[in-house]
Amino acid sequence: MSGMEQRSTLSESPIPVISPPIELTAKEFAFVATLAREEFGLELGTGKEQLVNSRLGNLMRQRGFKSFGDYYRHLQSDRTGDALVELIDVLTTNHTSFFREQAHFDFLTQRIFPEQILAEQKGHAPLRIWSAASSTGEEPYTIALTAREYLGPQSPSLPSILATDISTRVLETARKGMYKADRFQGGIPPWLKKHLLRGEGRWDGWYRMRPEILGMVDFRRLNLIEPLPDVGRFTVIFCRNVMIYFSRATQEHVVNNLAACLEPGGYLFVGHSESLTGIEHPLQQVQPAIYRKRGAKK
């Protein structure tokens, strides 16, 4: 093929359309920030403009909205709640990983599981654990993997795990329980491999939780700032790396709601960069990022 022919072929190929980035006005940003605070508890303070422009810009392009005005009308007229779900899906940060903040999983094996075994011998209720901002599932599956490995597959003390998140997108991923090998930072040790199914063919490089691990976790959508549905009582609640996005007042509201769902003597785990200092709550700190409700297990 001559150089001339090449040029003519190129000139006929479609020119990719690159849409200019969307830039919200100060008023539009304030509207999104107010909505995020009131509906989801998220604080989008100054400094978050670029993140909101980029994520909302992508959403608006994908959904074919020409201007923020069009998108705003869509948000206002939607009665299904889907538009708000779509908005929270793009505004939240879902970063998570297996065995994140290992100290909490050590606390499960060193303190909570042994306590539970003793409690069950005295006829106490089975162990229930709640992962209250579970993102794509790595946190609740780490709880299930740790429990099954530590307690053994037949143990009556194996916990049932409730995993909730506000984002439908992350819950969809979580329910599948399928992860690329690189999601397991530091590799997959032999003990962990026996709880996973290895993908083949086009799933080469992927791992899936075995059915018995999948079956330990019940995923549901739940907004932590809304009045909680009746989820029952828990021995342990993980609420990690979500409260950093909330105002102090919202944090206090959420922590008190969660404390009410703990059984006496139950534990609340928060992220290691989160602190309950300055918040009124009924829990006692037992070690960094671990709080306990007063009273003895019933």
Ligand X SMILES: C[S@@+](CC[C@H](N)C(=O)[O-])C[C@H]1O[C@@H](n2cnc3c(N)ncnc32)[C@H](O)[C@@H]1O
Calpha distance 90→12 (Å, rounded): 36
CB-nearer residue toward ligand X: 161 or 170: 170
> In the chain, which ranges are E strands?
128-131, 160-165, 178-180, 196-198, 206-209, 217-221, 234-239, 262-270, 283-287, 290-293
C-alpha–C-alpha distance, residues 190 and 120, integer Å: 30
Interface residues with ligand X (CB under 6 A) are 40-42, 92-96, 100, 133, 135, 139, 165-167, 170, 223-225, 240-242, 271
Closest contact distance (angstroms) between CB of 270 and ligand X is 9
Catalytic residue among 100, 128, 148, 165: 165
Comparison of 119 and 209: residue with beta carbon closer to ligand X: 209
DSSP state string for 96-152: --TT-STHHHHHIIIIIHHHHHHHHHTTPPPPEEEETT-TTTHHHHHHHHHHHHHH-
* Shortest distance (Å) from residue 152 CB to ligand X: 26
d(CA 162, CA 150) in angstroms, rounded, equals 19
Q: Are strands 290-293 and 262-270 parallel, antiparallel or unpaired?
A: antiparallel
Tell me how far apart the alpha carbons of residues 78 and 73 are, in angstroms, rounded to a whole number: 8
55 is catalytic: yes
Closer residue to ligand X (CB): 64 or 186: 186
CB of 44 to ligand X, least distance (A): 12
- Residue 56 beta carbon to ligand X: minimum distance, rounded to whole angstroms: 16
230 is catalytic: no
Please tell me which residue in 37, 55, 61, 204 is annotated as part of the active site.
55
When the beta carbons of 207 and 269 are compared against ligand X, the nearer one is 269
By annotation, the residues acting in catalysis are 55, 165
